[in-house]
Amino acid sequence: MTTRIQGNSVSGPADWLSLAAAPTFAAMALLAAFDGGPEVLCSAPGASPLSGMTAMYLLMSAFHCTPWLRLAARRRNANLEEGRP
């Protein structure tokens, strides 16, 4: 799926959905880190909160940052073309 972020706006529902992935995975990582859930029963005492599902959600959030970076770069380029920093 290609993202159609044009200029400094988002053009369609698929583009909004692609922008929703990274924050959603980041929120899920926070929930997994602080809530624990079923992993608490299976992990060793004193285990790092950045293991298991938390690490997976952080990686997924990082991999889905591309649409956000593309949007930020296009906004920055548009501002530079207009003479704004």
- Model pLDDT, residue 77: 85
Asked whether residue 41 carries a pLDDT value surpassing 50, the answer given is: no
83 vs 27: which has the higher pLDDT: 27
- Model pLDDT, residue 47: 62
pTM exceeds 0.85 for this model: no
Nearest residue to 72 via CA among 22, 38, 13: 22
Q: Where are the beta strands (DSSP E) in 1-57?
A: 5-6, 9-10
Dist CA 65 CA 71 (whole Å): 10
Domain edges within the chain: 16-36+47-85
